[in-house]
Chains A and B, each alone.
Chain A
């Protein structure tokens, strides 16, 4: 148990569906992250929120839309995804600012059909 919880653990969605991934951290951290992990690739940083402000969008397509309503919750809204978007999506949190000692959730395994 890392203190970062992601739901759902598994998700299968069609290309025309809209779904959301949820992440919650119980560590009192101020920064939250979304990473994408595809087979045989390094973890790819998607978005960073520091103190609820988005500080990084790593050229992510607009079909991925993050939302950070408070420092404990992070969402990733998905719509009109492509099969190549199938991957493990990982949420992480850290103290924030220059402190990047990140604690990860268990991930959501997403399959786009």
Chain B
């Protein structure tokens, strides 16, 4: 099946620093989504991307849908302690009917922010 490679696996940063994480795939995706998960909670949707090259912001978060449709990145600017959590990328592939109604998730990036 389709797989997403998300990196880095973890990040330890100081408050105020910018953060960047990305996802890559060997196959094309039609949709890229970025989620954040706090401990003991379900993932919460941060940003959704639907077009190749699309750049979308949500407050201090910015995400882009790669031109090749095989990658996406998420940037967080001026990090704060509440940014701590696990960030997941997710995508819906274009493999015809096999991708219908399904998301593939990356392994997650664990973000720790030191005050």
Q: Which residues of A line the B interface, CB within 8 A?
A: 2, 4, 6, 31, 41-43, 45, 48, 50, 55-56, 90, 92, 94, 96-98, 100-107, 109
Contacts and interface: CB of A to CB of B under 8 A. Distances in A.
A30 to B, nearest CB: 10
B115 interface: no
Contacts of A104: 35, 42-44
A105 B101 CA distance: 18
A103 to B, nearest CB: 6
A45 B43 CA distance: 14
A105 B92 contact: no
B100 to A, nearest CB: 7
A105 B48 contact: no
B83 to A, nearest CB: 19
A76 B92 CA distance: 24
Given A6-B42, A42-B106, A106-B42, 13 more contacts: A42-B88, A97-B101, A98-B30, A100-B31, A100-B33, A100-B102, A101-B31, A101-B48, A102-B45, A104-B35, A105-B42, A106-B41, A107-B42
Nearest to A30: B101
B9 to A, nearest CB: 10
7 contacts: A31-B101, A42-B4, A48-B101, A50-B101, A98-B101, A101-B31, A101-B33
